[in-house]
Structure 1
Amino acid sequence: MNTSVTTLETLKKVAVPIMRASKFAELTGVSESSVRGMLDREELPAVQLTSAGEGKRPTRYINLVALYKLCEKEAAAWIS
């Protein structure tokens, strides 16, 4: 059995496979401003569910399924 496929399938079934930048920063031990910078530079996959208010950034969430796929792709490149 391919465990990476099983893990991805499990992740796809998470009720909400997105995460706020603040929670991602907390769980990874990176500052929230660093996470927001990564989102600005499109280094983290994100979804935007709301439009930005005047003079404000839109609310963006990290797409955990897309991040998992990106990590899987990077890992495969390192292995080969």
Structure 2
Amino acid sequence: MNTQSIALNTCPACGSSNRCTLADPRTADQPCWCFSTDIDPAVIASLPEDLRNKACLCPRCATLKTEEIAGHR
């Protein structure tokens, strides 16, 4: 995966659609699904630094455990 940039609607861990409502102008007024999901901070920390806090993870990656994320990319 290219770590230079990532689309707001793409998961930075796997490249799939992240289904972020905030990234879609048609649904930007609705809360994102991730607001009600506990995401392991270690999963976010495992992402390359230039991809952190740029776009939502997809629902599948958001529920992975730290040891699973390395094999998922």
Same fold (TM over 0.5): no
TM bracket (short chain)? under 0.3
Q: Of the two, which has the highest radius of gyration?
A: 1
Q: TM-score, normalised by structure 1?
A: 0.25
Q: Which protein, 1 or 2, shows the higher relative CO under an 8 Å CA cutoff with sep ≥ 6?
A: 2
TM-score (norm 2): 0.26
- Structure with the higher fraction of residues in strand conformation: 1
Higher helix share: 1
